[in-house]
Structures are given as structure tokens and as C-alpha cells.
Amino acid sequence: MSESQPEIRKGLVGVVADVSAVSKVMPETNSLTYRGYAVQDLCEACSFEEVAYLLWNGELPNQAQLDAFRKEEAANRAISPALIEVIRQFPKDAHPMDAIRTAVSFMGLEDPETADTSEPATRRKAMRLLAKIPTAIAAAHRLSKGEEPVAPRSDLTFAENFFQVVFGKVPAKEVVKSFDVSLILYAEHGFNASTFTARTVTSTGADLHGAITAGIAALKGPLHGGANEAVMHMLKEIGSPEKAVSWLEGKFDHKALVMGFGHRVYKNGDSRVPTMTKYADKMAEVVGDKRWMETSRVLAAEMLKRKNIHPNLDFPAGPAYYLMGFDIPLFTPIFVASRVTGWSAHVIEQAADNRLIRPLSQYSGVAQRAVTPISARG
């Protein structure tokens, strides 16, 4: 690499930007660990709250630590009347990701410790965000449909309460477990675009609410979190397993992206897909509607055969959420409710050993020239 011809890694492909002890993405073995634990093992053995504790503290909690964590999270679920009033003013057709981004930004205006970027304050703020985000997501969603918000309940788990604030009731245990698993799988994934965004904001010395607001903005994009919604729209457009191959042909003819497939890091399969597929299949059984998962299977097999491209987590998560009864625009906000744990862990890590993130660009514009006074411009 010489000064005149710097190596440009567009999209920062393959660039190792820093060290991180939060998670390890291993494309060679299609595996992922959080703080050293395989994510599929965490899904089977732990609750989302245990995993959130793990991401923030480096170790799984004992019972007393988990009880204290749950108590604090449950006690912080209510959002202020002022925020509910702000949410009422949102346009009815506002995208739910724009709604939660704005709500989190507003929480930053209200939080008593917003400007305190010390680690203890950041941890307290992260807990408040984790607790309040589902309440705000659900309030925005319900108000957009002309329904009144439902108050959170402190006697429920994080996953149960999510259903409570969205639907006003908690479903069967296996539905809650499948949802909890999806939260664990979405919680953390290395230096993905939204996490890197949150770390970049943190590197300037800005506060947690700013970092999380920016992370939500990055996650909205269809190349990132927005793909789980796009997958369900695609499955509905296809309609049935028999139509999947011809639908795909049409996409190949136009060289179009097929949502829910491909990954920047995993090229031989996403570590999280088998677990999410297992629980999406369970949902199909519980609901008694296998058409979405059967269509998915045909699509995945054909994509592999024709393009050698594997599905990513969004591919099974989309139909799983649909089968749980969530409206499609809620899928990416659910990702936010979970990923706030990973983002916060990275914010804490970045701040603890910070250096301003500030890469270079190679100039490609016009050569330097003289300014002409306006009177002389044509």
C-alpha cells in the first residue's frame, strides 16, 4: 500500500477495526459465541434476560443476580406520559423503526443521566432503555392502529411482557419460548453495521442514547435488520411452496436480491439459522399453518442449488414472527428490543478503551481550482 495508491476496502470488507470480547463470529465453522458460549446452547439453556446479563457482565448470572436483574428491568418498563403524548403525535403511517428511533431519542431528553457517560451511568441507562423500548414500540404500533397503549406488567418476563404490551395478553409457553429464542439470536453479532455505528458515535464521546438512536437508524435498512420484514412480504407474495421456484426464476432473470439470503461474514451458512428454523417450525405446528415454512424450504434449497447462497437469521425469523401473530412492521423493532443489549455492551467496551473512529477517504472529485466571483460565473 503506497501513499498514491491506498488500498480501498469498499464496505470495509475484511477490515479488522478493533478487538472485542463480546462475541465471536466464526465463518469457518458457521458458529457464533457470546462471551465464549455457543449461541445455540444459550438458546436451549437460558432466558433472554440471562443472555442480556451475560453480554453486559461477561458471565452468566447466578439465581440471585438474575433475580436482581429481572427486578430492575421490570421496574423500569413504564414510559412517561410525555413520551406517550409525543408518540400520539406521530403520523399514523410512520414506519415503526422511525417511531422507535424518535422515541429513544426522546428518552434521551428525559433521562436524568443522559450527559453522564461514565460506565456506571451508561449501565443504568442501558437497563432503562432495555426496559422501556418494548413499551414504546408497542405504544406506537397500537396508536397507529387506533388502539390505546397497554401498560407493561412487572410480574412478567421480558418476552411475556412484550406480548402483553403489543396484544394485551400472553400466549402459550411454546410461543413465548420461540420468541425468547429469537431475542437471544438477535442480541449480538460482532461489528455489524448498526453496532459499528453505535461504537462510532460512542468514540466521539457522545452518550448512550445518541449511540442507540444511531444504531436503530442503521438497523432499519433492508440490507441489515429490515430484511426480516422483507422476507415475510416475499413469502406472502409467493403464496405457496409450488410457486417458489418459478418466483425465484423471475428474480434471477432480473438479477434481483432475494431477501433473507447472503451474509457479509458467513458465506457457508449463518450459525443462527438452524435454531431459529427449529423454533419457526414449532410455531407452524402450534398455529397449524405450515405453508410459510414449506415455501421457505423450497426457496432455501433452490437458492443453494442455483446460487450457492445460504439463508441468514432473518429468513426463519420473518415467518416465525408472523406465525406468532405480529404485524410485519413490528419485526425489525423486535430486533431493536433485543439488539439494544449487544449495542450497549459494545458502547461500554468502546468507551472503556476509546480512540476516535475516523477513517480516511481517497479523493475522487475534480482537481483543485480557483474560485470565480459570482459576477463572473455564467
Q: How many residues does the chain have?
A: 378
Determine which residue in the list 260, 316, 318, 333 makes contact with ligand COA, applying CB under 6 A.
Answer: 260
Query: Does 262 help bind ligand COA (rule: CB under 6 A)?
Result: yes
Residue 53 CA to residue 184 CA, distance in Å, equals: 11
Q: Nearer Cβ to ligand COA, position 92 or 254?
A: 254
Rule CB under 6 A: choose which of 124, 263, 339, 346 binds ligand COA: 263
The footprint of ligand COA on this chain (CB under 6 A) covers a number of residues equal to 15
Is residue 258 involved in binding ligand COA (CB under 6 A)? yes
141 binds ligand COA (CB under 6 A): no
Q: Which is nearer to ligand COA, 53 or 343 (CB)?
A: 343
Q: Between 7 and 353, whose beta carbon lies closer to ligand COA?
A: 7
Task: Annotate each residue in 272-311 with x if it binds ligand COA (CB under 6 A) or - if it does not, as one string.
Answer: -----------------------------------x-x--
Here the cell at position 374 is 459570482
Q: Say if residues 299 and 63 touch (Cβ distance below 8 Å).
A: no
Considering the rule CB under 6 A, would residue 312 count as an interface residue with ligand COA?
yes
| Nearest of 225, 218, 199 to residue 343 by alpha carbon | 199
**Going by C-beta distance under 8 Å and a sequence separation of 6 or more, which residues neighbour residue 337?**
130, 133, 134, 137, 162, 183
Task: Kindly state the cell numbers that stand for 186.
Answer: 438477535
Query: Hey, which residues does 261 pair with through a beta bridge?
Result: 311
Catalytic residues: 224, 263, 314
**Does 82 help bind ligand COA (rule: CB under 6 A)?**
no
Q: Taking the complex as a whole, how short is the minimal distance between the CB of residue 234 and ligand COA, in angstroms?
A: 10
Dihedral of alpha carbons 171, 99, 259, 312, sign: negative
Q: How many CB atoms lie within 10 A of CB 302?
A: 17
Helix 314-324, helix 173-186: angle, nearest 10: 150
Decide: residue 1, CB within 10 A, 0-12 exposed, 13-18 middle, 19+ buried. Answer: exposed
Closest contact distance (angstroms) between CB of 262 and ligand COA is 2
For ligand COA, give the closer residue by CB, 111 or 314: 314
Site string for ligand COA, 222-251 (x = CB under 6 A): -x---x------------------------
From 340, 339, 323, 327, select the one nearest 95 (Cα to Cα). Answer: 327
- By the criterion CB under 6 A, which residues form the site for ligand COA? 11, 223, 227, 257-264, 307, 309, 312, 314
